[in-house]
Structure 1
Amino acid sequence: MWGHAVRIGTRSSAPGTTATTVPNSGRDGLFGRDDELRLITELIEGGAESGGGLLLRGDAGIGKSSLLIAAVTVSTSMGREVLRTTGVEAEAELPFAGLHQLLRPLMAAVDHLPITQRRALLTAFGADDGPPPEPFMIALAALNLITEAAGRRPVVIVADDVHWLDRSTHEVLAFVIRRISADPVVLVGAIRTGHDGPLLHAGAPLIELSGLPDAAARQLVAVTAADLPPAGRERIVREGLGNPLALVELPIAWRAIADPSTGPPRHLPLTARLERAFGGRLAALPRLTRDALLVAAVDQSEDLAEILAATSLLAGAEVTTHAWTPAVEAGLVRLDESRVTFRHPLVRSGIVQAETLPRRQAANAALAAVLDGEPYRRSWHRAQSIVGPDDEVADDLEATHRIPLSRGAVAAAIWSLQRSAQLTTDEATRGHRLLLAAEHAFGAGRADLVERLVAEAGGCALSALDRARLEWLREILNDGVPGDARRILELCDLARRCERTGDRELALKLLHGAALRAWWAPAGRAAQDAVVATANGLPGVGDNPWYLAAIAVAHPTQEGPAAAAALARVVPDEVTDPYALFLYGMAAHAIGHSESAVAFLGRAERRLRDSGRLGLLSQVLTMQVMDRMELGDWEQARTAVEEARHLAADTGQAIWDTGSLVNNAMVLSLSGDLDQARSMADRVEQAAGSRRLNNLLACARLARGFCDLRSGRPADAYGHFRRMFDPAEPAFHESERIHAVAPLAEAARGAGLEEEARLVLAGFEGVARHVPVPALHIHLEYARAVLAPDEDAAEPLFKAALSRDLTGWPWHRARLELAYGSWLRRRRRTTASRSPLRTARAVFERIGATSWADQAASELRAAGERPAVTGQPGRDLLTAQELQVARLAAAGLSNREIGQQLYLSPRTVGSILYRLFPKLGISSRTQLATRLGAATPR
């Protein structure tokens, strides 16, 4: 979501417009920016209590950097700690360059971080040789370093030229800004118009900077062009368009031209004219100074020694710091003992534009020659020093792409592979490198980039194996029509060919993609059988997670027994790979083994939290929702939905896709937010209906049915559930209909449609005899008792259902006890009815099933018992995040430990606990476990 945009500043001379001069570090004043300075000052002042951010967006030279300098001045005067980073165009592919610059003042405290975070950050900076860190573990380490510093005094982060920060740093800043609301940390950033990036979508307010008002522009020109005639100054005001940099630099260009009466050239855009104005000063500079400026302009570093060494190679003679004196005097650069910095980014680009291509290539080649100790940067500059194919450089780029990958900088690795492909002469090798880049892009959540890379690779003469890999990448992008039996058969054929070439893993991935098509939409029995037959034809698959997920998802009823037997042999605690756990959980979910699904997915969740793989964590949380609802763990289902949405934002995955919507609809329908649940179900049906995605349509009907049950409309609820059992209906789904068996029976009893419901469910009885699906048997046992046509037959059926071990299924057991207690009361066995009704009510209240709890209380009153008030005041007022934090605190975790699990700062955790205590009517964390009254997290 874009940050809220506020447009400030106009070139009209509106009455009442005032301009003030505010000192800054430049030679000129800061004119006409009162409103912007006020907003920045208010943000910094408020940052002593809570965090936030503000982004400035505008054209080059509009004054963004000057406002940031003012922010630094204000921050320093208030005693804030200022952390600064500036994007550099040449460093955009240098992983974590901006983050290293930002955190340099805090690195002395890195030893105080948890070991996994410390290793991740040091590896990202190349100071440790640990395993490749997850990007979000690096981001969490950065967050904790910053918030720990803020515990000593408030912190102000100042980020200039954000559009040129390397992608990895940009993503860390977006991660941080989403999590500092409770910390004394503020971020003020500047980004150029026309650029995008993660920080723009992180929710911070956005100020659109336009040109200075005319009065302020004239004040500025009166200072910068005092020696020019009035007509000349007025023309500069007109041509400068209120751009402060233009109003400073155009007078210098004006003075430099032979005929001042003509003024600066007008046929170029303002930015190009400014670049030309800076670049135009090169001609008057000595040759060695020009060489030094060119090397600095194409370098990824501001290191003076490195630039001088490369300049000496370019010039063919030793170059010393004296070469910089004319550039400093011309106002192009600033020089200190170890660094060279350009006065403005347009100086850098103006120098590059002014030089010829061969000169730019020579400068890059000189830099590559002095970077023997930095293979990634060396290969980067070698790639910039040539035009056209060069297999030696291409091979070097492919070899060195693993360096940024090992530091968690996926974007830099992708760039290396893309550039390597551009320089490769062999078409098959070029396609292979593009596909490798696409796989990395998919892992980073860059679906847009994957699509582009796959399309480009598709035009290459690929090997048979790479052609299959391309098809798999298209599948994981959901390219094509779910269902599509023809495509499923093609994928099966590809899988067989992959097996023959020895790539069994790719074969299984292709079959998994084919199975998902059959899951999402009808594909026909022949397609389902083909997936299973192909998978079973692969030798040595055994308990392979890809294999089990493929057969279970493709044909859940037929393959349920085989998949269940294989899953029983796998011990979740012995599996270390989170993706394997995810696939096992998927298989268990597909065949209705909810307890097994939660066991696998819960362990995957813990492993992913520990390693910082938040993209997959979002998917794992989403997949748990239905099974946790079945198991009566509604709180965890609610928090999983909410956290998955937030993580989807962090990882660039779609937040409002139909899968997230339908999970939200089901959770809300059970928790009582019926209007919102129905609204989400409407959106699911609109999105999924045209493609007949019957899995999602079935879940939408389930949500609607629960809404009507809670609203006291059993006949309407029955209609929604009934559609899930009719093969002619779009909402029919082989696996999802299991979840509607008990609700259908409950609705039928309320609507007087027991006989019809028995006919609907009759077909399931045969399935249940040969399919060991716990959820199906539990649902059917409830339905048999509730729908029993013979009064004498009902009680044995209730007792048989209650004799099952339902320890892990509290919601279902409580529903059985409610139905049995109600049946007993209607038979005037009031004394016997009270015990199951009491138990049912207590369980419903504990899990948050308020409408069922109300039914149980009503039945108890009808049985002559006044129910005691046993609810948990305030618990229903907690947000999903507050509930998640409360449960972890109740389990004894410290604020720091909770923050590590939920990717929050410890101070944010403390703030959440401070807010939730009054809601629960408690004053300390020691009271949490008693007040929550439910099992603490795993």
Structure 2
Amino acid sequence: MLSAIGWAVERAHPYACLRQLLMPVRHEISALPQANRDILEPAIAPVRTLPPPDPLAVQGAVLTLLQRLGIQRPVVVTVDDVQDCDRPSLDVLGSVLRHLTDDGVSLLLAARGDLAPPGLPTELPYVRLAPLAPQAAADFLDQQPGAPKGRRRLELLEEAQGNPLALLELCRLAQPDTDLAFPGHRSLLSPYPRPDTEVELAALPTATQHALLYAALAAPDEPLATVTTAVGTPDLGVWAPAEAAGVITVADRRIWFRHPLVRRAARARQPAQLRRAACLGLSRVTGSPVYRAQYQAAAALGPDESVAAALEETAWGTQNAVTAATALEQAAQLSPDGAARARRLAEALAAAHLVGDPDWVGDLYRQFTQGAADAELTCLAAAAMSGALSLASFQQEAFDLLLDVREHALPADGPLALALASVAAAVADQSALPHHRSQLAALFARSDSRSASAVATGALTRLDEPAVRSALRAFVSVAAAAHGAGQLLRRLEFPHLGALPDAPERLVRRLAVAWIAYQADEADTCLRQYRKADTQLRARKALGLRGWSLAPMADTLLATGWWAEAETLLAEGSDAAAVLGQTRVHADLDALAATLAALRGRSTPELTATGPNWCAFDLAENRATHARMLRARALAAAAQGDWARTFRQLRALFDTDGSPLHPFLSPRTIAELATAAQRIGREEEAAQVLAQVRTQQGERPTPRMTLLLHHATAVVDRAADPEEHFQLALVNPEGERWPWERARARLSYAVWLRRSRQPLQAREQLTAALEIAERLGAAPLAATVRAELRASGAAADTEPDGALEGLTAQQRQIVEMAADGLSNREIGEQLFLSPRTVGTHLYNSYPKLGVSRRHQLRDLLAATDRGAD
């Protein structure tokens, strides 16, 4: 391995980079022919005493040396920051790249910027490294020593924009405060990041350096005209030197810095007086009230009520939870009055809970508890802290905090109690602990009470509207009783689905209605409300509030056949949960992603094993997560034909007496449990669980549960008439809303029909089940149905061998790799093809194979293998 790093300071020294590269193998130079030795030894000598050698001769000598080294063993040459290499060394590298044919020598060059440095071969293959994905950036940052937590961590991730070097440098700078001259904007006071950038900036004209200070302090989306006006010059030419030096780009009426560290450097290198003046200048010309308050806060020299009031006034109007929480925290820090500080801290807690970072909420809660506050603020702060604890998986601690506040700080006031009861209901649903549900009753009773003089103030005014109160009371009632969701849903007025964004209170109401519809198995209502809410929560960066809705929304999408949408939601939501440290949410989404993989037949040992997120907390107090995990494992085992393991996982969703691990999630696996039990002869045990589930569901279960109970009864209840219950499980057209469950019921019925010597009727059910399975992309289910079709005497499909023979060798190779689950990009990397070329080959192969979708390739090749056997 030969390595070198370009250094801008050495650009004037010929072959400085080459000297770095060849010093480890300088002893090999003596083995070269005399002519090559005479060229190379002076070129890489530390002190030059002779005139520079002929460049072409140096290039030839280096090529000879590398070829000689490559004969002995493989050689890898790496040069980082190649754009800063001296010109002669760069010419040598270019010559080697053009003329080297030895497979034993490989070169890897890394450069900053959008283009390859001039002088390198234009045909050189290159890979543009995109910024780290949000989750990868968060993981990388968290591995650094002294990595920040809470708000500072989120601000650092936002500032670094996924750049690894920026993450390292900014993490180094994000140490405990050493200078509090700007309480509202501490990041301005960090030391200067990188010396090489200082040289670049110092070479610019003074007027340009002054203008860059304003651009660096301005909000990233502040218009160019606003920044230029604040600078005090109408001449856009002031930016030209910075553009020519590659420091910034002026485009789309905005100023873009080339690198996050350059932005930080442009402001950090200037004295505090100039930074303060720039912030005040920007505050006078910006058209955004939010930014005006932020600039004033950045320029504040100490507590200032006028600035704090401006921050508080503009916070909730930003439609951005991160901006709101930051502004409210800054307002609290700038508040000279203790009561105002407590109020703003409580509001900041509520906003930070919307953001969803438990560490940030915890920091604010510690600050809040250090001062005195009234009952309303204490309740608001406790509700936010409890919600954050729940997102981080600490359900017992979250619920105990609410109980403590109820005992010591909660007056007989409806809105206050309703706020706590709503959070407690969400925690109780996640924990599914019986004592949590029983204790909800006390909180719920107090939410109905209301003193004559009690008037909701502050943030609680948003919960005091009649429609919001009704939705939240129904939400708490369903969580406490675990049934009756359908009746309560019918009494509620649903929020409209118009294009206008929701006010905060309507958004809370919409989420409550969606969750009640989820519990009532009203999938259409549930998804309409969740989709509307989710779009807004993403736009507002309210990922904390969104953390409560992701799992039920994804679960409903899976149950109703919207698998592609569920996949997108799970991937994006999982990234957000990882960035914010929402351990429980991340584990929920991992379990649901594993469920989807198993349904599609893409399950792997890693998906079915207990991953790090599933081990990171106590499953005993997170029963909802545990239930999702168990079902994912069961479906993965079923896809592999391991029915004994499938039964064990599903059986664990119920206690020994048949009581559900989770009152909503467990009963909805009863048909899957019955099917697995039938496979291994455990029908009697499953029938006992079935009886318990039937009792728990009451006299009027939801239509979905009614169909599942009929399906399970037909399979394992020996006292019942199987045909009658199969028909009842299939007669209701509403069952089509849950296509996976409907296809499973048809398959079970067909198996019974075939064994009852009714093959024609069995084939009718199997044909319908196969159509559903293929539409969903449920490969394991489709394979099982095809096997039953053959057993029932159906004509075999066209033999796949003949179709495969019609493919070219490359097409067949691509088809086989796609059937193994590889993406177009992964196939292309192995075959040295572009993803688009791979997609074209697949598109041209489908008609020859008689398939229309990618997921059908697996079954096709499986049939080929069976035919070969």
Instruction: Give the TM-score, by structure 1 length.
Output: 0.56
Counterpart of 1:511 in structure 2 is 421
Flag the 1:462–1:724 CA change in 2: closer, same or farther, 3 A. same
Counterpart for residue 545 of structure 1: 471
Provide closer, same or farther for how the CA distance between residues 498 and 664 of structure 1 changes in structure 2, counting only shifts above 3 A.
farther
The one of 325, 337, 347 aligned to 1:426: 337
Q: Is the 8 Å Cα contact of residues 514 and 527 (structure 2) preserved in structure 1?
A: yes
1:722 aligned onto 2:651: yes
In the other structure, the counterpart of 2:665 is: 736
Which residue does the alignment assign to 2:594?
665
1:22-421 residue pairs with structure 2 within 5 A? 35-37=80-82, 171=158, 174=161, 191=166, 193-196=168-171, 300=217, 352=271, 364=276, 368=280, 372-374=284-286, 387-399=301-313, 406=318, 414-421=325-332
Taking a change above 3 Å as real, the CA distance of residues 348 and 628 of structure 1, as seen in their structure-2 partners, is: closer
Shift of 1:780: 0.4
User: Contact conserved, 1:380 with 1:397, CA < 8 A, in 2?
Assistant: yes
Q: Is the 8 A contact 2:315 2:323 kept in 1?
A: yes
Task: Sort the Cα spacing of 1:544 and 1:680 in 2 relative to 1 into closer, same or farther, 3 A.
Answer: farther
Tell me what 2:438 maps to.
Answer: 526
Aligned to 1:624: 553
C-alpha separation between the residues in 1 aligned to 2:438 and 2:153?
Answer: 49
Deviations 1:436-492, CA, capped at 9 Å, x for gaps:
334344444444333222221221212221111111110221268414664454466
Q: Which residue of 2 aligns with 1:482?
A: 395
Residue 762 of structure 1 corresponds to which residue in structure 2?
691
Q: Which moved more, 1:520-529 or 1:436-445?
A: 436-445
Return the structure number with greater relative CO, CA threshold 8 A, min gap 6.
Answer: 1
Q: Relative to 1, partners in 2 of residues 1:509 and 1:458: Cα closer, same or farther, differing over 3 Å?
A: same
Change in CA separation of 1:299 and 1:701 when aligned onto 2, cut-off 3 Å: closer
Matched, 1:794 2:800: no
Change (3 A) 1:845 1:862: same
The C-alpha deviation readout for 1:766-812, integer Å capped at 9, x for no partner, is 33343432332111010111124158x22222222222222212222
Residue 778 in structure 1 maps to residue 707 in structure 2: yes
Deviation of the 1:737 alpha carbon: 0.8
TM-aligned CA deviation for residue 743 of structure 1 = 0.7
1:435-454 counterparts in 2 under 5 A?
A: 435-454=346-365
Stretch moving more, 444-453 or 773-782: 444-453
Give the deviation of 1:714 after TM superposition: 2.4
Overall identity of the aligned pairs, in %: 22
Whether the 8 Å CA contact 1:365–1:381 is kept in 2: the answer is no
**Which residue of structure 2 lines up, in the alignment, with residue 831 of structure 1?**
760
> Structure 2: how far apart are the matches of 1:922 and 1:543?
58
Which position in structure 2 is the counterpart of 1:215? none
Match of 2:490 among 562, 565, 568: 565
1:851 pairs with 2:780: yes
Mapped contact 2:485–2:516 kept (Cα < 8 A): no
Does residue 675 of the first structure (1) align with residue 604 of the second (2)? yes
Contact 1:561 1:771 in 2 (8 A): no
Output one character per residue of 1:539-572: Cα deviation in whole Å (capped at 9) or x when no partner: 9568743333332234323x435434335x5376
- Local SS of the residue matching 1:657: helix
Residues 399, 760 of structure 1: CA spacing in aligned structure 2 closer, same or farther, 3 A cutoff?
closer
Equivalent residues in 2 for 1:570-649, closer than 5 Å: 570=494, 573=497, 577=502, 579-605=508-534, 620-646=549-575
Q: Determine the C-alpha separation between the residues in 1 that align with 2:656 and 2:117.
A: 70
Distance 1:366 1:595, change over 3 A: closer
Please say if residues 575 and 581 of structure 1, whose CA atoms lie closer than 8 Å, have aligned partners that are also in contact.
no
Post-superposition Cα deviations, 1:303-340, rounded to whole Å, max 9, x if no partner, equal 7986689xxxxxxxxxxxxxx9xxxxxxxx99xxxx9x
Check if 1:919 corresponds to 2:829: no
Question: Is the CA contact (8 Å cut-off) linking 1:511 and 1:535 kept in structure 2?
Answer: yes
2:746: which partner in 1?
A: 817
Aligned-partner residue type, residue 530 of structure 1: A
SS at 1:424 equivalent: coil
SS of 2:736's equivalent?
A: coil
In structure 2, relative to structure 1, the CA distance for the partners of 1:193 and 1:293 (3 Å cut) is same
* Shift in alpha-carbon separation, 1:655–1:846, aligned structure 2, 3 A: same
Query: Mind listing any 5+ residue stretches in structure 2 that lack a counterpart?
Result: 8-15, 24-42, 46-77, 87-110, 123-133, 135-151, 173-193, 219-223, 239-246, 249-254, 451-463, 805-814, 825-833, 857-869
Residue 560 to residue 438, structure 1, CA distance change in 2 (3 Å): closer
Q: CA deviation at 1:762?
A: 0.9
What is the distance in 2 between the residues matched to 1:438 and 1:428?
A: 15
Equivalent pairs, count: 641
Contact kept in structure 2, 1:365 and 1:385, CA below 8 Å: yes
CA distance in 2, matches of 1:687, 1:882: 30
Give the aligned partner of residue 803 of structure 1. Answer: 731
Alignment partner of 2:166: what SS?
Answer: strand
* 1:102-131 alpha-carbon deviations (Å, 9 max, x no partner): xxxxxxxxxxxxxxxxxxxxxxxxxxxxxx
Measured after TM superposition, the shift of residue 421 of structure 1 is 2.4
Moved more, 808-817 or 651-660: 651-660
Matched residues in 2 for 1:929 and 1:439: separation?
50
SS of the residue 2:616 aligns to: helix
Q: What's 1:455 paired with?
A: 366
Paired position in structure 1 for 2:860? none
Deviation of residue 857 (structure 1)?
1.9
Deviation at 1:615?
A: 7.4
**Secondary structure of 2:793 counterpart:** coil
CA distance in 1, matches of 2:816, 2:566: 15
The change in CA–CA distance for 1:875 and 1:917 in structure 2 (over 3 A counts) is: farther
Name the aligned partner's letter for residue 169 of structure 2: G
Residue 297 of structure 1 and its aligned partner are, at CA, apart by: 9.3
2:22 matched to which residue of 1?
16
Structure 1 residue 493: deviation in Å?
6.0
Q: CA deviation at 1:7?
A: 9.3
Aligned equivalents of 1:344 and 1:836: distance in 2? 65
Provide the rounded CA distance (Å) in 1 between the counterparts of 2:749 and 2:167.
68
TM-score (norm: length of structure 2) = 0.60
What SS does structure 1 have at the residue aligned with 2:691? helix
- Which residue identity lines up with residue 359 of structure 2 in the other structure? D
C-alpha deviation, 1:495, in angstroms: 9.8
Q: 2:377 aligns with which of 443, 451, 466?
A: 466
Residue by residue over 1:547-606, the C-alpha shift from the partner in whole angstroms, topping out at 9 and shown as x without a partner, is 33332234323x435434335x53764797455433322222234444442343244456
Distance 1:593 1:490, change over 3 A: farther
Amino acid paired to 1:453 = L
- Cα pair 2:387 2:427 within 8 Å, conserved: no
Q: 1:330-371: per-residue Cα shift (whole Å, max 9, x none)?
A: xxx99xxxx9x999987975662xxxxxxx669947984896
Relative to structure 1, the CA distance from residue 530 to residue 662 in structure 2 (aligned partners, 3 Å threshold; closer, same or farther) is farther
Deviation at 1:244, TM superposition (A): 5.8
Consecutive unaligned residues in structure 1, runs of 5 or more: 1-5, 21-32, 42-66, 79-135, 137-164, 178-187, 198-241, 250-274, 279-288, 310-323, 325-332, 353-359, 884-910, 934-938
Please give the secondary structure, in 2, of the residue aligned with 1:770: coil
User: Does the 8 Å contact 2:283/2:291 carry over to 1?
Assistant: yes
